[in-house]
Amino acid sequence: MNIEEKIADYVDKKSQYLKASKVDIRSIKLEERVRLQCFHCEKYEQKWTCPPRVNRINFEKVFSEYSNAMIIYCKIPYRNKTEYVMVREDSTNLVHKTLLELEKILYKNNQVFAMSFIGGSCKLCKDGCSKKRCRFPNLARIPLEATGVNVMDFVKRELGIEIKFPLDGYMYRFGLLLW
């Protein structure tokens, strides 16, 4: 079983809502207007993995240093606002934890620089981020949106999934796994 098959097999067994899809890393486009949206987010300057704390990283260069990429994503239904709030957090955590587990699988397969980017802001700390430093630097990951990836455009091109707002009945969450 090759590494892509191992990843797909793991994702299939993890949750009925999860999917994995290999994508062309060269198709990732970064846009400053996406990063600008972070400035208007309530998490701005509050999360250690969000802007402006990650602004000095040249993500275009980072992405160019990898040759393999997979989108790990979920699509979870909800029926009302209460479920939406719950699914919003659950979807982030499901994708985040799955990406961390996939990084371990890649590491065990001699892919020591494997890295992932989560969908949405990190939600590891239930009571908010520490003011001094990240409590879980080994587990926290940068949101894909914070890198400048236009996630909606990317998943439409790569997966044929069109996200429309406001969301209606389904929450999608997308993460990116690189190796």
The average pLDDT across 119-137 equals 92
Distances (CA, A) of 34 to 15, 53, 114, 125, 157: 30, 16, 24, 25, 17
Q: What is the pLDDT of residue 56?
A: 85
Give me the residue spans of the domains in the chain.
3-178
Contact 158, 23 (CB under 8 A): yes
Beta bridge pairs of residue 74 = 18, 173
The average pLDDT across 52-72 equals 94
pLDDT confidence of 127, banded at 50, 70, 90?
confident
